[in-house]
Amino acid sequence: MTLQGKTVMITGASRGIGAEAARAFAAAGAKVALVARSAEAIADLAGEIGEQAVAIPCDMGRYWEVDQAVRNCVKAHGGLDVLVNNAGVIEPISHMAEADPDGWGDVIDINLKGVFHGMRAALPVMLEHGGGSLLTIGSGAAHGPVEAWSAYCASKAGALMLTRMADKEYRDQGIRAISLSPGTVATQMQRDIKASGINPVSQLDWSAHIPPEWVAKALVWMAGAEADRFIGDEVSLRDEAIRAELGLS
């Protein structure tokens, strides 16, 4: 599909899924806004992609920064058609009785409040222009408890509900809200999980994880009408039928 002339804002764009998504959307013809706390990393990526990319440093846990990031995106590219809510963290991995409350709250700030902040800042722009797509990186952790991941599981469950809320409130105004549950992906987060040595996910062989390029390809597909049947719901990359439809193997 082509996204020629469309603008896509990607959070957590400094590495992993976010960086690959930026490359994939740019290759499909979109103008991309790269949002992350790591200013140097997104500046390097913007330089790699070229003039259709702009780097916007931002802490997703602070609404005023996210609102300004959306304003900067619109100023640079003339609009906002797709928001990819990708920014996320998993540390601290710990059992609840030993969890650091501040660290636990930081996960909620980024993974849950950050998703809300992105939607809250993007929605007025999208609604003014007749619609847009809110694509959020979800997780199987949204659907069941995983040992030592209380903050992550709670935040991902909340983020999935935000997708459903955006759909309930704005589908009839042209908003396409869809979650993507990618399964385990070969990124730095999986290295952190493996290093923790806690729960079965940390014991997975590295070959079990899918490449971030698969997730990027899925996100580009989700931005188009082919994925309309999933509006208000979740796409799972564990689903072999979805992998086949996207040509992933």
Burial of 240 (0-12, 13-18, 19+ CB in 10 A): exposed
What is the phi/psi pair of residue 186, to 5°? Answer: -75, 80
Q: What phi and psi values does residue 135 have, to the nearest 5 degrees?
A: -110, 120
d(CA 223, CA 26): 13
Q: How far apart are CA 36 and CA 64, in angstroms?
A: 14
Residue tagged 């003039």 (tokens): 51
- Taken as a whole, the chain contains a residue count of 249
**Alpha helix (H) ranges present in 112-237?**
114-128, 150-170, 188-196, 212-222
Catalytic residue among 152, 170, 214, 221: 152
Quote the CA–CA distance of 47 and 194 in Å, as a whole number. 32
Cα–Cα dist 71/74, whole Å: 5
- Cβ-contact 4, 27 below 8 angstroms: no
Instruction: Show the beta-strand stretches assigned E in 20-174.
Output: 31-36, 53-57, 82-85, 132-137
Query: What amino acid occupies position 73?
Result: C
| Annotated catalytic residue 170 | no
How many Cβ atoms are within 10 Å of 211's Cβ, its own excluded?
Answer: 14
Residue positions annotated with a catalytic role: 152
